[in-house]
Amino acid sequence: MTATGRVAARDQDAAPPARPRRREGRLRRVAVPALAVFGMLAAWQAIVVGFRVPRFIAPSPLQVLEVLRTQHDLLLDNAWPTLLETLAGFAVGNVIAVLIAIGFVHNRVFRQSVYPLAVTLRTLPIVAISPIIVLMLGLGFTSKVAIAALITFFPTLVNMADGLDAVDPQALELMHVLSASRWEIFRYLRWPTSLPYLFSALRIATTAALLGAIIAEWIGSNRGLGYLILAATYDYRTPLLYATMAVASGLALALFGLVSLIERYAIPWRQTSGPSES
Amino acid sequence: METLPARDERAPGAAAGDGGPAIVADRVHMSFDQHGRPLHVLSEVSLTVRQGEFIALLGPSGCGKSTLLRLVADILQPTRGTITVLGGTPAEARRERALGFVFQQPVLLPWLSAEENVALPLRIGGWGRRHAPAATPAELLQLVGLDGFNRARPAQLSGGMQQRVSIARALVSNPKILLMDEPFGALDAITRDRLNEELLRIWSTVRCTVLFVTHSITEAVYLPNRVVVLSPRPARIQRVVEIDLPYPRQPAMKDTPRFTEYTSTLRAALEEA
């Protein structure tokens, strides 16, 4: 910010003006959504109490909070395996997707043969493929990771392939004039260009990976948040079901936030120009 | 910029044709394939550019001026005819980094600082490790009038300043020929006038051959030794006009009768085409 101010002051070429940062802006960004969430919870509580909704149909927020407090050991024991499956699936799916996308930009035949396969794979519903994967890989950790990986794979592949291709044609001409090798074009141009695309995909992939892990646990598991959701539903322990969903949602938000945080450090140039920040 | 040492320090034998012409285009014809039908862009273009000369290529938009520049830079290959750069092929000149290219857009990498952008050609192919530059990236930023902005990111610089960075980048590998593709076409008139002054000042320091594409008649008179007027597509050389105005040129010259005479000559040549 200070640098921008200095630039504008020194040269009359009219640099983009530094926008004055408003203190209240930050407070408002936090306060408004917080109030909205609180208001929604209060309304929910009022409706459940006011209309005397039975707790096995819809528990009140306070009842859910009570379960989160008293049964946090149970929830935590089941959150761990799901988190591990999610992280492993996230890593495997994204690494494979990025590598294939890199292959796409460097080999036309590879792209033409693999891209349609990837699209076809995507059209198959994940709930239909998952039992097949469990059948092949068994009921253990591996099949869960595979399903989580599969669900994250496609968005990252498409985004990354687009990102690596999103280079300015004139920048490619510049690289040609400099006699840059393919590796140098990748390293200095394509890879940094693709990073904003990659991180958009990774943010989607966090929630997708968690969803994949939970679906995998539905198919066959005796632990994990997916298992807990099924068990709670069958037993009409609805407050526990809601608490489990709250934990799953919290996990997804935490992962999403973590990726967004890493993004800020990985793509610092985005903030100096992007209208989204500051 | 007194810090820049004299040029022409190439090892003997490197880049043949010292003293010979910088660029020779011999009956160059260029056509692109457009939905199976040939689109003729250049037709029978023959041109000789002496070393150290400042040449403006003037023509209507889309006539093929930029194509001619890209043929010299080995970005494109001619359909027929030959182009000789410093006695060799354009590809050889490119590999020796004898060519600097300034695009219509600055084409800076947004994740690099101004100085890192200028240094990019030195990093590619390890050029900077094998060749001692005539001027460091920091010195070149000073030369283009951006002293103190070394660490600024492109997004923090105005359009004019970004184009200055890109000129510094084109000069960093000490090229013998500077190819400029309407470099100031996207800028406002005031910034453009100022960068014209800067370019002449920089040219008087580095003394390389300049091939400057423009569709501004004023620029085409004010900057070069010679103007090559191209016809609309397929571009032929319509006329070559020697601009006999002394350097260093002053903005006041633009109001002299000689200057307006040249602009009318060029306008007439463009209309004839």
**Residue B248 DSSP one-character state:** S
Taking CA atoms, B54 is separated from A154, B51, B179, B215, B251, in Å, by 53, 9, 10, 16, 18
- CB contacts of A196 in chain B (<8 Å) are none
Share of chain B above pLDDT 70, in %: 93
Q: CB-based contact (8 Å) between A68 and chain B? A: no
CA distance A71 to A66: 8
Is B246 within the bounds of a domain?
A: yes
Share of chain B above pLDDT 90, in %: 66
**In this complex, which of B70, B95, B158 lies closest to A13 when CB atoms are compared?**
B158
Is B253 within the bounds of a domain?
A: yes
Bridge partners (DSSP) of residue B29 are B80
Contact yes or no for B201/B144 (Cβ under 8 A): no
Task: Write out the two tokens for B153.
Answer: 């990111």
**In this complex, which of B124, B153, B157 lies closest to A184 when CB atoms are compared?**
B124
For B205-221, write each residue's pLDDT tens digit: 888 999 999 989 999 99
Taking CA atoms, B11 is separated from A121, A241, B7, B16, B18, in Å, by 59, 79, 12, 11, 11
pLDDT of residue A183: 94
Please answer yes or no on whether B107 and A273 come within 8 Å at the CB atom: no
Report DSSP letters for B162-189, one per residue.
Answer: HHHHHHHHHHTT--SEEEEESTTTTS-H
CA distance A117 to B178: 47
Query: Residue B72: enclosing H or E segment and its boundaries?
Result: helix B65-72
* CATH code assigned at B93: 3.40.50.300
Contact yes or no for A79/A87 (Cβ under 8 A): no
Count up the domains in chain B and report the number: 1
CA of residue A264 relative to chain centroid, distance: 15
Amino acid (1-letter code) at residue B20: G
**Domains of chain A, each with CATH number or no CATH:** 72-273 (1.10.3720.10)
Contact yes or no for B104/B182 (Cβ under 8 A): yes
Task: Write out the two tokens for B67.
Answer: 């194509």
Q: CB-based contact (8 Å) between A235 and chain B? A: no
Is B48 within the bounds of a domain?
A: yes
For A104-125, write each residue's pLDDT tens digit: 999 999 999 999 988 888 888 8
CA distance B93 to A177: 10
- CB contacts of B153 in chain A (<8 Å) are 269, 272-273
CA distance B217 to B227: 10
**In this complex, which of A168, A179, A192 lies closest to B125 when CB atoms are compared?**
A179
Residue B90: give the domain boundaries.
22-98+221-273
Q: What mean pLDDT, rounded, does chain B reach?
A: 88
The set of long-range contacts for A272-275, using a CB threshold of 8 Å and a minimum separation of 24, is: A272/A4, A272/B153, A272/B155, A272/B156, A273/B110, A273/B153, A273/B155
pLDDT of residue B6: 43
Is B236 within the bounds of a domain?
A: yes
pLDDT of residue A29: 85
CA distance A5 to chain B (A): 9
Residues 6+ apart with CB under 8 A from B256: none
Is B7 within the bounds of a domain?
A: no
Q: CB-based contact (8 Å) between A166 and chain B? A: no
Q: Collapsing DSSP states into helix, strand and coil, what is residue B88?
A: strand
Under-70 pLDDT residues of chain B: 1-18
Q: CB-based contact (8 Å) between A178 and chain B? A: yes
If one counts every other C-beta atom within 10 angstroms of the C-beta of residue A121, the result is: 13
Residues 6+ apart with CB under 8 A from A257: none
Task: Write out the two tokens for B7.
Answer: 């040029």
pLDDT of residue A271: 56
Q: CB-based contact (8 Å) between A277 and chain B? A: no
CA distance A175 to chain B (A): 9
Is B270 within the bounds of a domain?
A: yes
Instruction: Report helix angle A191-219 to A72-106, nearest 10.
Output: 140
Amino acid (1-letter code) at residue A223: R
Please answer yes or no on whether B110 and A16 come within 8 Å at the CB atom: no
pLDDT of residue B9: 39
pLDDT of residue A22: 56
Tell me which residue of B222, B221, B239 sits closest to B230, measured CA to CA: B239
CA distance A42 to A32: 15
Q: CB-based contact (8 Å) between B99 and chain A? A: yes
The set of long-range contacts for A275-278, using a CB threshold of 8 Å and a minimum separation of 24, is: A278/A1, A278/A19, A278/A21
Bridge partners (DSSP) of residue B83 are B25
What phi and psi, each to the nearest 5 degrees, are found at residue B214?
A: -150, 160
For chain B, the straight-line distance linking the first and the last C-alpha, in angstroms and rounded, comes to 41
Under-50 pLDDT residues of chain A: 1-18, 272-278
Task: Write out the two tokens for A114.
Answer: 């693999």
Is B140 within the bounds of a domain?
A: no
Contact yes or no for B202/B110 (Cβ under 8 A): no
Please answer yes or no on whether B125 and A181 come within 8 Å at the CB atom: yes
pLDDT of residue A17: 46
Q: Best residue in A13, A185, A272, A278 to probe B by mutation, most B CBs within 10 Å?
A: A13
Contact yes or no for B269/B238 (Cβ under 8 A): yes
Is B81 within the bounds of a domain?
A: yes
Q: CB-based contact (8 Å) between B186 and chain A? A: no
